[in-house]
C-alpha cells in the first residue's frame, strides 16, 4: 500500500496529479477487463450432472413495476449468450389471478412488465409442487393475502439439458416466504421434449409475423 507523507515541505501537486492519473488508468483497465467478459462475475455452478457451467441469477425484486425495470435491464444485460441460465428468487410480481388469493382482484397490467422481460430474456417458468403460493402477509382473517412471488425461470438451453429440474415449495413458517427446493435428476429416457406454448409469446411484437411465415 502506498503511503503519502503530508506536509513534507515539497511540491505535492505533481505527485497528487500523477497518482490521480494512475487511478484513472487502473479504473479504465478494470472497465476493459469487465467488457472483455461481461459474464465473468455471474455465479456459475459446475457439477458432474451438467456438461458445462450453469449460470445462476439470484432475484430479489422491488415492489413496483417502475423499480423492477432496473432489475430487468440488468438481467438482460447479463443474459448469457448460450449457456444454461437459471433465475430463482423473489420476483415480487404475479402474472395471473391463480397466483393470488385475498385482497384486491388481480389486474392484468400488474404483470405486464414481468411478461415483457420473460419474452425478451427468452425464459420460461418451471412447474412446481407444493402450495400454490409462496408468500403470505400473515395478517388475520379477511386481511390475509397469499401470492406466488417466488419462482424459477430457465432459458431454452436449460430446458434442453439431459436432466429434469423440479421445484418444490417448502413450508414457510415462520417466514412470510416459502423456501424453494430445486432438484435435478437424470432423465431416464430419450423421449423428445414436449412442445410448450408460452402465453407471453403473444405479447412479442413479431409474434404474428412469425406465425404467418411458418
Q: What is the pLDDT of residues 158-168, one digit of tens each?
A: 888 878 788 99
> Looking at the domain assignment, is residue 22 inside a domain?
no
d(CA 83, CA 87): 13
**Does this model's pTM top 0.75?**
no
Give the mean pLDDT of 37-51. Answer: 57
Domain-embedded: residue 71: yes
For residue 148, being part of any structural domain is answered with: yes
C-beta of residue 94 within 8 angstroms of C-beta of residue 100 = yes
Q: Which residues have CB under 8 Å from 4's CB, separation 6+?
A: 12, 15, 19
Give domain status of residue 127, yes or no: yes
Residue 38 lies in a domain: no
Pick the more confident residue, 130 or 214. Answer: 130
DSSP letter at 195 equals P
pLDDT, tens digit, 9 for 90 and up, residues 45-69: 666 667 778 888 999 999 999 999 9
**61 inside domain:** yes
Q: Does the pLDDT value for residue 114 go beyond 90?
A: yes
Instruction: Give me the domain span that covers residue 70.
Output: 43-213
Would you say residue 25 lies in a domain?
A: no
C-alpha 4/C-alpha 23 separation (Å) is 15
Residue 102: count of CB within 10 angstroms of its CB: 15
| Alpha-carbon distances of 31 from 24, 39, 114, rounded to whole Å | 10, 13, 30
Say how many domains are in the chain: 1
- Is 131 buried (19+), middle (13-18) or exposed (0-12) by CB count in 10 A? middle
CATH of the domain at 65: 3.60.10.10
Q: Residue range 68-97: average pLDDT? A: 93
Residue 60 has a pLDDT of 94
Closest among 88, 101, 209 to 153, alpha carbons compared: 88
Residue 36 lies in a domain: no
Q: What is the pLDDT of residue 7?
A: 33
Amino acid at each position: 500500500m502506498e503511503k503519502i507523507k503530508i506536509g513534507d515541505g515539497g511540491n505535492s501537486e505533481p505527485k497528487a496529479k500523477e497518482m490521480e492519473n494512475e487511478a484513472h488508468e487502473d479504473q479504465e483497465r478494470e472497465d476493459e477487463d469487465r467488457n472483455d467478459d461481461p459474464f465473468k462475475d455471474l455465479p456459475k455452478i459446475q457439477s458432474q450432472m451438467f456438461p458445462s457451467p450453469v449460470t445462476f441469477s439470484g432475484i430479489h425484486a422491488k415492489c413496483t413495476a417502475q423499480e423492477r425495470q432496473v432489475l430487468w435491464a440488468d438481467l438482460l444485460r447479463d443474459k448469457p449468450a448460450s449457456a444454461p441460465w437459471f433465475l430463482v428468487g423473489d420476483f415480487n410480481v404475479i402474472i395471473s389471478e391463480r397466483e393470488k388469493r385475498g385482497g384486491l382482484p388481480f389486474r392484468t397490467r400488474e404483470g405486464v412488465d414481468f411478461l415483457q422481460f420473460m419474452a425478451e430474456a427468452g425464459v420460461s417458468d418451471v412447474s412446481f409442487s407444493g402450495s400454490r403460493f409462496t408468500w403470505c402477509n400473515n395478517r388475520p382473517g379477511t386481511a390475509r393475502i397469499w401470492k406466488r412471488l417466488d419462482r424459477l425461470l430457465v432459458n431454452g438451453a436449460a430446458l434442453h439439458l439431459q436432466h429434469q429440474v423440479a421445484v418444490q415449495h417448502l413450508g414457510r413458517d415462520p417466514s412470510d416466504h416459502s423456501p424453494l427446493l430445486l432438484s435435478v435428476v437424470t432423465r431416464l429416457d430419450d423421449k423428445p421434449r414436449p412442445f410448450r406454448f408460452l402465453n407471453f409469446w403473444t405479447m412479442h411484437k413479431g409474434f404474428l409475423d412469425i406465425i404467418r411465415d411458418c
